[in-house]
Structure 1
Amino acid sequence: MLMSAATGLAVAGNYFAQPLLDLIGRELGVGSSLAALIVTAAQGGYALGLILLVPLGDLMERRRLAVSLYAATAVFLLVSAAAPNGTVLLAGTALTALTSVGAQVVVPFAATLADPAERGRVVGTVMTGLLLGLLLARTASGALSELGGWRTVYWVNAVLMALMAVLLRTFLPRLGGADRRLSYPGLLRSTVAMFRYEPLLRWRAGIGALSMASFSVLWTAMTFLLVRSPYGWSESSIGLFGLVGAAGALTAMVAGRLADRGHVQIVTGAGTVLLLAAWLAIAAGAHSLFSLLTGVIVLDLAHQAILNSTQNVLYALRPEARNRINSAFMTSFFLGGAMGSALTSLVWAHSGWTGVCVLGASLSTGTIVLWLLERLTANGSAAHQDDVPTPVASTANSRS
């Protein structure tokens, strides 16, 4: 439960700005396009941290790595809290996101400690915390902005992250890296090599990236929709939508239990179909609150099902390289999110809510196509796996 809370708190800092974009833009004197880049900076910084920092979990003592990243995140949150202009806020947001990948050190940490027969449930529990943090960050930021302005949430989260660093240092067991023979450059090369040697990782990275892009399209554009007619909501009211999305986060635990029972492919396939179906309701949400609520719940449910089922598939591939596989997948995943946010700001400016919904539906359709292609090539990929050599890291005898 501590690890679940830790992941949620770490990832929350990357999403505080979403319901506050209009408010931040007015106070710092920046336009809506630049305000939307705050979300892109968070996702881009997170993706960079995933590829540069998360693989260190296969090399370093993992508790020390996690605690160091949580402490650094607390410092960078203070930079955002004190930002005098949009440029400093963008820098603080990117640096906070870079080190908040400590959450993605904790998730494979939990998978490693878990019994293999219960790995799906354990990962589902920890990921539920992460996803609740992601979604409830919007609710918390909206409420705290009403009390003390948009900076308040950054001050509060900085204190909580510092406290979490202390708790993780106190209660987590020591867990060394899997292969200390690897150099850092060799570690990064080995992470990239995972795409070459693991076809399943390639398929799942594509599915995850498109799913996260679709997810980000909704949550980035929703603020711009809800502050305008016919809604005209305040920042705190917009933040309450995080409570709606939180219902979908519970899917992670259900998906994990289904994965433990061997139904992981069914969960993924159903998730891709529901992801597309959600956009039909979201499109009607321009003038119907009920349709918007329904679409948000279904989209979050589908997104979490895809993510959790994919993690259960990938964590079983190479236990000794779990952090590198997680790094490779999650980098693709959050790059997809950054792409979705960036495209949303452009599409909204030119085509409004209709264009946003077409974009989201197109990305969701891509997840269905990739999942079907993965299933069609599964037998050939399995046969190919038997003949694939083990990737080489820094020396000829070092396994990736």
Structure 2
Amino acid sequence: MGLKADFLKHTLQFNFEAGTSRGVLTEKDTYIIRIRNHESPLVYGLGECGPLKGLSIDDRPDFEDYLRNICETFNELDLQLFKWNIPIVLSQLISNQFPSIQFGFETAMLDYINGGRRVVVENDFSKGTRSIPINGLVWMGNRDFMLRQINEKLNAGYNTIKLKIGAIDFAQECELLAYLRTNAPEQLVIRVDANGAFQPDEALDKLTQLAKYGIHSIEQPIRQGQHELMAELCRQTPIPIALDEELIGHMEYVDKFRLLKKLQPQFIILKPSLLGGMHHCDEWIETANRLGIGWWITSALESNIGLNAIAQYTARFPNPLPQGLGTGQLYQNNISSPLTIEHGFLRYNTSSDWDLQVLLDAKETVKNVIPSPDKAGG
């Protein structure tokens, strides 16, 4: 009997109101895919599909119906999986219009092939012997809320702090950056993320003001899709520009190359859930390296299932830059995992176990339920 796929919907609840320039987040729907062979039901791979509202190209009303249809088609194929045929299966099974489903299936398949141990990429990180430097994220909010987060991140020992900006008064945001630069160690790296909040006619002036605070980089200063304006801004900017939303929807290799060659940003930021998974990120990395563009990898509000896969993928590369992998602490009902953050580093604590109980708590509202940990050994 071949492999079977099913899924479970889980609504993640934020610990606080998470502000961005696109609005405030209090919850996020995500979908956990399970792949298993009914002849060995205790061994299963898990992956996560988590489109972001208002941003992912697969944030659409038919998402869940399409995911269900993909599972049904997968179940009819009587597949055998090998690492070499996963890209082929993905390209023929799932439309490029659903990148988060591509990522979820890709990681669930790899987890299954690796024995259903929540190991997607076996390396020093998944073995617990290597940690990944990450940035501490300061969410938007009023001045006092952001200031409290800044002090928490400094006290926690982060060497890189990223502030989301663009929602409150720009002068207040500059005051926060001045406070951070004055009260933090001189070597602290400061990143900012505008999420496309700047108007094109004001962007260069704001970048010039931000440059006074020794900013490492700014993510997506203007809204994506304005290619001529963005290319000009990347040429003139006093602060390195890192593009992330700009990459969404470019699924063909030639389109990736054409975009980066035209815009010539200083950095790109890779979010596997938004870009179609690890195979597509490989293409972005190869293209960026050819063009002399720096890069790092960021999670996109996944649960610990998706974050774990992204972290293991990130650890494949000898990239010394701090990565954006600190989102595992956002939710009050996240999936308990061996992922831990210590002094600004993410590590996989092999002495801890996965606990899927929070998923089981949702079983009354879904048809397909992942086996309980005591039966599944997960």
Shorter chain as denominator, the TM-score bin is under 0.3
Structure 2 length normalisation: TM-score? 0.27
**Higher RCO (Cα < 8 Å, 6 or more apart):** 1
Structure 1 length normalisation: TM-score? 0.26
